[in-house]
Amino acid sequence: MRVEGTETVRRILCVFPRYTSSFGTFEHAYPLTDGVQAFMPPQGLLLIAAYLPANWPVRFIDENIRAATTEDFEWAEAVFVSGMHIQRQQMNDICRRAHAFDLPVAIGGPSVSACPDYYPSFDYLHVGELGDATNELIARLARDPSRPPRQVVLKTVDRVAMTDFPIPAYELAEVKKYFLGSIQYSSGCPYQCEFCDIPGLYGRNPRLKSPEQILAELDKLRECGVTGSVYFVDDNFIGNRKAALDLLPHLVEWQKRTGYVMRLACEATLNIAKRPEILEKMREAFFVTVFCGIETPDPDALKAMHKDHNMMVPILEGVRTINSYGMEVVSGIIMGLDTDKPETADALLAFVDESQIPLLTINLLQALPKTPLWDRLAREGRLLDDDDSRDSNVAFLLPYDQVVSSWRKCMEVAYQPEKLYARYQYQCDYTYAQRLKVPVTPEQKSWANIRRGLIMLRNIFWKVGVLGDYKKVFWKFALGRLRRGDFEGLIASSMIGHHLIMFARAASGGQQNASNYSIRLREASVPAE
Ligand code: SF4
């Protein structure tokens, strides 16, 4: 559904800010691909673009692909920006550049919704989700496209039902330049983990689109050229288990009809391992990866952060169960918890070995506004100002240097090429072997797809197998894959593995932040005009 009844025409420039180099955006993998330049198409900004009046021309620019130019700003009558806390400085920079052209700039999305005071220069703050604030913003711009004399804050009270969401304007994004396609089925999560801002921002009762909307979005993504992997960005895919069960048969049917053109991935709580009926359907729908916020293998720590639901099955058993349905587990891990001890790093590394999880995003604890953690630390006087000398705003109970050096040690050891490739080998033998054997479609046999695969193989063989400094480990793995004719497994593991190895080296050498939210090292990443 689009907003209606606006006859005035306004040209809107939607600008998505650059990400800072991060563990989870895979930029070291991009040079091994056939031209990928960014991580995932941003759902929020593309949704707003699709919601704007049909007669309003919209330009979408992802600054991870190219910076907005003078010509873009001269074309526009208003600029929309959206992003997460990690992109705060880049968002403020876009605002500054747009103001140089005297354009009104509006910001929406998760960061401004949690922390409006991070964005004092913007003309319009859109706080909350798509709803009456969005309609008011559009009406104000229709009436008057000049900059308001002072900042206007618009807060959504009545949200648009997700069943009325239009399909995000994927056609405006250069989807082929993204590492993954993205899609959203639900918003919100019923749990209340202490550090997480999702329940505070989006509620505990997940809101949902209809299965028909999801299929229409998948069709559109496919029309726009997405092949390969599509990530459900839902906060928790099983936040409403019944809804997941309602959707899955539709996904299975869509995959069968289209020849399993997409590999699917999602985020879900680890207690999904207790739901074989969901896991079986996910396997049939060709879900191949599940991101689980395991956070820590320490039961006391899980209890303290109110993540007891991770203990509904023993963690390692849960991981094995998910693997047995052909799905690789990706895990979030947090260090710097109050329950951490001097031996936490060793316990974590033992867990990495035992779980055989190849990809774990290991971050230092950061307190986000609108979380119970933030409130508790504020009460305890342990919230520190963000500054460039630290990678976290939390006063840890252990000395800061000890926590950071534990984190560096974990990054260094967990991502040694031998260890990482051994975990990938395990996944090939025990997880990927359980996946559905899907037919080779005409699309996959097409010359364009074969050419794409050949380009990636050439890049991998040259940049990792010839020029790389861990080539012996790589070839041992690669030859095994080649003997089995598993080109897809070889390409996927080598690309992601290369990113993890390169990023972890920079991290353990002190050249990367220990937290995805830290502002340290961010200055240099603001794009030049
Ligand atoms: S389960 Fe995940 S999304 Fe839900 S509150 Fe916990 S961390 Fe947040």
Give residue 269 CA to ligand 1 midpoint distance, Å. 7
With a cut of 90, say whether residue 529 has pLDDT above it.
no
* pLDDT score, position 440: 84
With a cut of 80, say whether residue 516 has pLDDT above it.
no
Q: What percent of the chain has pLDDT over 70?
A: 96
The Cα–Cα gap between 508 and 496 comes to: 18
Which tokens hold the place of 241? 């288990």
Task: Tell which atom from ligand 1 comes closest to the C-alpha of 269.
Answer: 1
With a cut of 60, say whether residue 219 has pLDDT above it.
yes
The Cα–Cα gap between 480 and 146 comes to: 63
Give residue 292 CA to ligand 1 midpoint distance, Å. 10
Q: Each residue of 68-106: pLDDT tens digit?
A: 999 999 999 999 999 999 899 999 999 999 999 999 999
Per DSSP, the three-state class of 180 is coil
* pLDDT score, position 513: 66
203 Cβ contact partners less than 8 Å away, ≥ 6 residues apart: 187, 188
Give residue 367 CA to ligand 1 midpoint distance, Å. 14
Candidate of 184, 187, 196, 312 to mutate for ligand 1, largest count of ligand atoms within 8 Å of Cβ: 196
The structure's pTM equals: 0.93
Q: Each residue of 366-384: pLDDT tens digit?
A: 999 889 999 999 999 999 9
DSSP assignments along 272-312, one per residue: GGG-HHHHHHHHHTTEEEEEEEEE-S-HHHHHHTT-GGGGS
- What DSSP character marks residue 162? G
* pLDDT score, position 526: 31
User: How confident is the model over 227-249, as a mean pLDDT?
Assistant: 95
Ligand 1 close to Cβ of residue 271 (< 6 A): no
User: How confident is the model over 266-281, as a mean pLDDT?
Assistant: 97
Which tokens hold the place of 59? 């330009």
Give residue 402 CA to ligand 1 midpoint distance, Å. 27
pLDDT band at 152 (very low <50, low <70, confident <90, very high): very high
pLDDT band at 278 (very low <50, low <70, confident <90, very high): very high
DSSP β-ladder status, 207-208 and 186-187: antiparallel
Q: Are 352 and 315 in contact (CB under 8 A)?
A: no
Query: What are the φ and ψ backbone dihedral angles of 58, each rounded to 5 degrees?
Result: -125, 135
With a cut of 90, say whether residue 338 has pLDDT above it.
yes
Task: Tell which atom from ligand 1 comes closest to the C-alpha of 307.
Answer: 6
With a cut of 80, say whether residue 1 has pLDDT above it.
no
Pick the range with the lowest mean pLDDT from 13-27, 68-82, 104-118: 13-27
With a cut of 70, say whether residue 343 has pLDDT above it.
yes
Ligand 1 close to Cβ of residue 193 (< 6 A): yes
* pLDDT score, position 515: 61
* pLDDT score, position 386: 73
Task: Tell which atom from ligand 1 comes closest to the C-alpha of 309.
Answer: 1
Strand order, beta sheet including 78-82: 58-62, 12-16, 78-82, 105-108, 124-127, 152-155
The Cα–Cα gap between 195 and 202 comes to: 15
Task: Tell which atom from ligand 1 comes closest to the C-alpha of 235.
Answer: 3
Categorise residue 475: left if φ over 0, alpha if ψ from -120 to 50, beta otherwise. Answer: alpha
Q: How many residues does the chain have?
A: 529
* pLDDT score, position 227: 82
DSSP β-ladder status, 12-16 and 58-62: parallel
Categorise residue 299: left if φ over 0, alpha if ψ from -120 to 50, beta otherwise. Answer: alpha
* pLDDT score, position 254: 97
Task: Tell which atom from ligand 1 comes closest to the C-alpha of 239.
Answer: 4
* pLDDT score, position 512: 67
Pick the range with the lowest mean pLDDT from 110-114, 397-401, 446-450: 446-450
Query: What are the φ and ψ backbone dihedral angles of 199, each rounded to 5 degrees?
Result: -60, -40
The burial of 263, by beta-carbon neighbours within 10 Å (0-12 exposed, 13-18 middle, 19 or more buried), is given as buried
Q: Each residue of 280-329: pLDDT tens digit?
A: 999 999 999 999 999 999 999 999 999 988 988 899 999 999 999 999 99
pLDDT band at 439 (very low <50, low <70, confident <90, very high): confident
- What DSSP character marks residue 88? H
Q: Each residue of 29-62: pLDDT tens digit?
A: 999 999 999 999 999 999 999 999 999 999 999 9
Dihedral (CA of 84, 88, 92, 93) sign: negative
User: How confident is the model over 162-170, as a mean pLDDT?
Assistant: 97
The Cα–Cα gap between 258 and 219 comes to: 9
